[in-house]
Amino acid sequence: MKTSNTQPVTLNINGTSYSLSLEPWVSLLDVLREHLALTGTKKGCDHGQCGACTVLADGKRILSCLTLGVMKDGAQITTIEGLSDGQNLHPLQKAFIEHDAFQCGYCTPGQICSAVGLLQENKAQSREEVQELMSGNLCRCGANRGIIDAVMAVKEGGYHE
């Protein structure tokens, strides 16, 4: 007789509550992409080194590829899909567009989620500090200058919701 290896988990993702039954080894990234079809969060290296999978959990930035779904039972998860309000983009989404902060766009969802978390942490006061605290999110296309410009523009109050 085969027994189930799943555990009940409730995740609040982008304001919607999901009751799931997950194997304990399934990453939050795979829950988002494969179980819930929220494909904005990207799978890059799958080793926590590139930041493409960055989402917000209870307002803090996390690498969803290194986080087990069962670990976030009851958590408030925000993905790139949850940042905009319908047609109204989040200030960082607007700033990324206006500062040409992407080329291929693959890392953009993780970059934006990381930047939202960074600004909520209020630790970075200078361009150099933003650059350092965003260093876990890699852009292989070389849009880093535009990314930092966008974050600084929002930080300095140039964009509002």
Specify whether 13 is located in the same domain as 74: yes
Specify whether 65 is located in the same domain as 15: yes
Domain range enclosing 68: 7-82
Question: Domain with 108 in it: what CATH number?
Answer: 1.10.150.120
Mean pLDDT of 131-152: 93
Specify whether 78 is located in the same domain as 95: no
Mean pLDDT of 108-127: 95
Interval 28-70: pLDDT, tens = 999 999 999 999 999 999 999 999 999 999 999 999 999 999 9
pTM score, two decimals? 0.92
Domain assignment present for residue 49? The answer is yes
Specify whether 150 is located in the same domain as 96: yes
Specify whether 12 is located in the same domain as 76: yes
CA distances for 100 relative to 45, 96, 114, 153, angstroms? 24, 6, 17, 12
- Report how many domains make up the chain: 2
